[in-house]
Structure 1
Amino acid sequence: MSYMPEVTYEDELKVWSGGERSNCFAAHLSIGEVIYKQLESNPKLIAQISATEQTRLTREEVRLNAMRVASYMRGLGLKQTDIVGLMARNTTHLVAVAYACLFNGMPFHSLNTSYEQDTIEQLFSITKPRLICCDGDEYARVRAASEKLQLQATIITMRKHPVGGDSLSILDILTTPIEANFQPYRLQQGPDQIVAILCSSGTTGVPKAVTIANSQRLLVPLLRLSSNSMQYTHSTLDWISGFIILLHAGAFNTTNVIADNEFDPAFMCRMIEQHKINLVFQCPSHMAMLANCPEFEQADLSSIETYIFGGSRCSLEIQQRIRSRIRGNLIFSYSITELNSTGTVNIHFDAKPNSVGRPVAGNKLKIIDEQGQPLGPNEVGEVCLYSGQQWSGYYGNPEETRLIRDSQKWFHTADLGYVDQDGFLFIEDRKKDMFKYHNIMYYPNEIERVISQMPNVAEVCVFGIWDAVHGDEAAAAVVKRHGSKLEPQDVLDFVNSHISAKYKQLNAGVIIVDDLKRSGNGKTNRRANKDHFMNVQSMKGVNLISFNN
């Protein structure tokens, strides 16, 4: 596979390389131009199916709708320097808005629908969108933010349109006449121009506005199927996986199956069976929910040819359960949004389980120690990625931009890992999650791995609770598997019997929860789970079960 060559290792520099990468389409074309031409050349193919709204759109219908929205934007006088705000679920006509922005060379700034009011205001205060498309569910919050920031933005609702007020329905916009001789705009800044602004995970504070370049590096040939292929992700457009899947539907003629409900694993099983979905792109938290639901074992998942996941750590048990139920490839993908492309992929799950794989073509990888010196094979340090392409940084935040990308254009991921003798990367933990107990360093993932081995555990999050004497004491929030019985003492006893070190015990306690706290993009939020633990502890007025003797 030309996209996934054998990795090469430069021993002197201690750098692993995925080799050269070539574009799928003519290099001078923007992504908007690529999608426009592909939609035009395959008008009768089904472009999108909404499993929740029960709609189907051909590629011709999607192209015409996107042209109408783009013409409306042009009629407002919006230029390529303006930004469109998004805060929406995967509804029928969101594709028209996204493609319209691509046709106009105009970036959109996408926020997750779960963001709090302060977060909405802080993010939109950075990009100052002139047009905002949101669901009616979030209209009041978006309007309040717009008024507080004095944006004077036009607001369009995508579903559950409010009665009264000053919002417009997307259905109204779709009546806009298409501009005469409509063509996608050429990009004023070429492939370095910003195509989208997404959000970092926000697990350590307010999400940062991550710029994405209008580069064909976003198109991943590894995911390319055929015009008969059906693809699905529950990720929305604030997460790069949701964005990439939408781009692939336009560029590679696949059919995009969408849903605007809260993620429901049983509903997903039915979608796969009904629509014979071939490609699934999923975050690990949804994988755990899927593998833990009663319908999983009986569902017909035989249509899945490629099941790709990434974004955070997933227990090996969950990976193996998913792998046992599909006939196609289980692919672990690793990157950071800031890289603007896939970083590494593991297409050799059976040979290298739990590895996030090798660097893809066009990328390089190195491991560094705390002094910034490169490390060799099987040495644990911070993972650094290099793509070589232009990155405009965090929008409006040059200070944070300089912290994550050095002068040699290497991204410092803050993830700890190592590369084995075959060039496969293994992620050990987050650098920032390092704890100290009596000045002895340890990482929460070491304990999470043990707890994940318990047959009655579906998911777990371990975090540190500060103690003035001991330092960081480990605590855990645990989700039990459906229909099972699990008590905090069971978890404490299991860890005690499998880990001998005192400093790696759950010295601060355990709580059993219905679900873990997550960031807007579905990642487990260690800080939020810790805060919930502290609230429960405070309400009880006593320490939870603990080994503090």
Structure 2
Amino acid sequence: MNYERSVVDVFNETNQKYQNNPAFTCMGRTLSFKDIDALSAKFASYLQNHTSLEPGDRIAVQLPNLLQYPVVVFGAMRAGMTIVNTNPLYTPRELEHQLKDSGAKALVVLSNIATAAAEVISKTPVKHVIVTNIADLHTPVKRLLINSVVKYVKKMVPEFSFPNQIAFTKAIKLGEQKAYQPVTVNHEDIAVLQYTGGTTGVAKGAMLLHSNLVANMEQVREHLGDAFREAEELYVCPLPLYHIYAFTIHCMCLYSRGNESLLIPNPRDIPAFVKELKGKSITGFVGLNTLFNALCHNEDFKQLDFSSLRTTSSGGMALTNEVATRWEKVAGIRPAEGYGLTETSPVVCANKPSEICPGSVGTPVPGTEIKTIDENGAETELGAPGELCVRGPQVMKGYWKRPEATAEVIDEQGWFKTGDVATIDEKHFVRIVDRKKDMIIVSGFNVYPNEVEDVISSHPKVLEAAAIGVPDAKSGEAVKVFVVKEEDSLTDKDVIDYCRERLTAYKVPRMIEFRDDLPKSNVGKVLRKELRK
């Protein structure tokens, strides 16, 4: 396996080989590899000739699963720039932190969600804002129809304004005026700053090199083998491409083999989602536990033809046996669970579809070393639980501008400490027995208690707060917060409303419990373990 290539090298090779194959389909519109090649070149040319950006600069991308996403990301990479994947659900506070921390000089944003960025853009280093509408890459008539309905009938595009704003369609036209000039992109350059809380609540940018992404692509393709046949696959893509799991599968593994991805912009709209699947010969499905569960409870989904489905990959959160069994009954195939982290680009382990070990996250992908260690750093015996450590070409370079945080998780020998407690059996199957002790996973999204607590504690009527995860039938876990009042007039509605203004929806607590005090250690640290009891 050749890891010393850039994503751009892979992209160029792929486009030449599979020019006329369908690459991405969304809302009835399909772009071929030739289309993606041409459009991304125009976007790269725009960045080179009509902005102040230079190779190495960061460009934030805040888009759901639309055709614009691969065009923008591959175009920016071809211009030698670093992608800052940005969650479309971010509140102004969260977005401001990421744009400042990354030093992003440009932002590509969907008009429907642009108000958050417009509110904070003046406080960030961003100099160029490219705004796109949902159907900008559809045919002219359909583009006008869909964009008009979305804006004027459904009123889904709020008013906003940026000081240096340009329409995506205009940027593409400007990019046509001058040929894109290829840039030398080294495999050791940073391809993506992927933000994660790590083991704390402060969002940090994991520096994923081009070689990290290419390595994980090669590792996953070899490990899963027939799951990525050449130019034969049609995979459903409901998970957001800005999440490294979906990006690696759809924009790297599948794309590099000449395959097609069906983009689902809003997977929470289950009826619309199922409508997109009707009549399609789906061969692969990438999802997570809560999504599988929701789909299997939809009567129209149960009636779909799954005769072509060969692979279902599960990641992002634990796959329950109940949901796996239900999916197998409906779709005729058991989901193959995997495991990874943002910091490992992301795949560490995966079950092969032909060799699924229920309850495990599979075996390490090729070129990956794993071990478990005790609290003193000594390696534990086979089968004994310990903190899972990973070493391999997919492990990030480190956290952006945070050498101390990097040193906490990557030792001098290159071992990355995941913070997850696991066991490894004699066949190298890995079972996660306890994850990062305090992290909460809501529908596959990481919620860090520190961040929730910091927001709530800033409320003038709150003295203290502590957040934990509690089981939830729909989302796997939900956020529960214990609050000590500063003023008796404080209500649970006050706390939740305050959070809704400052936190993405999945981070907002579902339950508030007021207490006179919180359990603490002898040094004053809140004991979340006691609260979980």
Q: TM-score of the superposition, structure 1-length normalised? A: 0.72
Cα pair 1:233 1:242 within 8 Å, conserved: yes
Match of 2:42 among 63, 68, 74: 68
Cα pair 1:415 1:429 within 8 Å, conserved: yes
Cα pair 1:49 1:55 within 8 Å, conserved: yes
State the Cα deviation string for residues 441-499 of structure 1 (Å, max 9, x = none): xxx99xxxxxxxxxxxxxxx9x9xxxxxxxx9998453379xxxxxxxxxxxxxxxxxx
Q: Secondary structure at the match of 1:295?
A: helix
Q: Secondary structure at the match of 2:75?
A: helix
Find the counterpart in structure 1 of residue 473 from structure 2.
Answer: 479
**Deviation at 1:294?**
3.4
Cα pair 2:346 2:394 within 8 Å, conserved: no
CA–CA distance in structure 1, aligned partners of residues 339 and 325 of structure 2: 18
CA–CA distance in structure 2, aligned partners of residues 480 and 41 of structure 1: 43
Find the counterpart in structure 1 of residue 128 from structure 2.
Answer: 153
Cα pair 1:192 1:214 within 8 Å, conserved: yes
1:35 aligns with 2:33: no
1:169 aligns with 2:201: no
Cα pair 1:271 1:277 within 8 Å, conserved: no
CA gap 1:265/1:60 in 2 versus in 1, 3 angstroms? same
Find the counterpart in structure 2 of residue 218 from structure 1.
Answer: 216
Q: Secondary structure at the match of 1:154?
A: strand
CA–CA distance in structure 2, aligned partners of residues 57 and 473 of structure 1: 44
Find the counterpart in structure 1 of residue 21 from structure 2.
Answer: 45
Find the counterpart in structure 1 of residue 146 from structure 2.
Answer: none
State the Cα deviation string for residues 353-407 of structure 1 (Å, max 9, x = none): 0100111101011011111111122111111111146733111222221222122
1:138 aligns with 2:110: no
Cα pair 2:100 2:125 within 8 Å, conserved: no
Find the counterpart in structure 2 of residue 454 from structure 1.
Answer: none
Count of aligned positions = 438
CA–CA distance in structure 1, aligned partners of residues 21 and 388 of structure 2: 42
Match of 1:408 among 386, 408, 413: 413
Residues 257-268 of structure 1 mapped to structure 2, 5 A cutoff: 257-268=262-273
Find the counterpart in structure 2 of residue 93 from structure 1.
Answer: 68
**Deviation at 1:138?**
2.4
Find the counterpart in structure 2 of residue 235 from structure 1.
Answer: 239
Cα pair 1:42 1:59 within 8 Å, conserved: yes
CA–CA distance in structure 2, aligned partners of residues 389 and 243 of structure 1: 14
**Deviation at 1:181?**
6.0
Q: Unpaired runs of 5+ in structure 2?
A: 135-150, 152-156, 442-446, 450-465, 476-498, 516-533
State the Cα deviation string for residues 392-430 of structure 1 (Å, max 9, x = none): 311122222122212211111111110122211001112
CA–CA distance in structure 2, aligned partners of residues 412 and 61 of structure 1: 41
1:293 aligns with 2:298: yes
Task: Give the AA of the match of 2:512.
Answer: M
Find the counterpart in structure 1 of residue 511 from structure 2.
Answer: 533
CA–CA distance in structure 1, aligned partners of residues 243 and 123 of structure 2: 26
**Deviation at 1:202?**
7.1
Task: Give the AA of the match of 1:240.
Answer: I
Find the counterpart in structure 2 of residue 303 from structure 1.
Answer: 308
State the Cα deviation string for residues 163-183 of structure 1 (Å, max 9, x = none): 875522211112124476645
CA gap 1:135/1:375 in 2 versus in 1, 3 angstroms? same
State the Cα deviation string for residues 506-540 of structure 1 (Å, max 9, x = none): xxxxxxxxxxx99x9x9x97xx47x42116x79xx
Task: Give the AA of the match of 2:237.
Answer: T
CA–CA distance in structure 1, aligned partners of residues 165 and 306 of structure 2: 42
CA–CA distance in structure 2, aligned partners of residues 332 and 408 of structure 1: 29
CA–CA distance in structure 2, aligned partners of residues 178 and 138 of structure 1: 27
Name the Cα RMSD after superposition: 3.4
Cα pair 1:232 1:277 within 8 Å, conserved: yes
Cα pair 2:107 2:126 within 8 Å, conserved: no
Cα pair 1:355 1:426 within 8 Å, conserved: yes
State the Cα deviation string for residues 299-341 of structure 1 (Å, max 9, x = none): 3222221111112212111112212333456321111110124
Match of 2:193 among 189, 194, 197: 197
Find the counterpart in structure 1 of residue 358 from structure 2.
Answer: 353
Q: Secondary structure at the match of 1:185?
A: coil
Find the counterpart in structure 1 of residue 479 from structure 2.
Answer: none
CA–CA distance in structure 1, aligned partners of residues 254 and 363 of structure 2: 25
Which structure features the higher share of helix residues? 2
Task: Give the AA of the match of 2:61.
Answer: L
State the Cα deviation string for residues 18-76 of structure 1 (Å, max 9, x = none): xxxx23xxx5542112212321332222221103xx32212222111100000001112
CA gap 1:411/1:29 in 2 versus in 1, 3 angstroms? closer
**Deviation at 1:119?**
1.0
Find the counterpart in structure 2 of residue 57 from structure 1.
Answer: 31
CA gap 1:122/1:130 in 2 versus in 1, 3 angstroms? same
Q: Unpaired runs of 5+ in structure 1?
A: 1-21, 435-443, 446-460, 464-471, 482-516, 539-549
Q: TM-score of the superposition, structure 2-length normalised? A: 0.74
Find the counterpart in structure 1 of residue 424 from structure 2.
Answer: 419
State the Cα deviation string for residues 138-181 of structure 1 (Å, max 9, x = none): 22221232202253333433436768755222111121244766
Q: Secondary structure at the match of 1:109?
A: strand
CA gap 1:155/1:202 in 2 versus in 1, 3 angstroms? farther
CA–CA distance in structure 1, aligned partners of residues 468 and 91 of structure 2: 28
Q: Secondary structure at the match of 2:347?
A: coil
Cα pair 1:265 1:286 within 8 Å, conserved: no
State the Cα deviation string for residues 192-222 of structure 1 (Å, max 9, x = none): 2111111226785243211211022131312
CA–CA distance in structure 1, aligned partners of residues 344 and 293 of structure 2: 26
Residues 106-121 of structure 1 mapped to structure 2, 5 A cutoff: 106-121=81-96
Task: Give the AA of the match of 1:236.
Answer: P
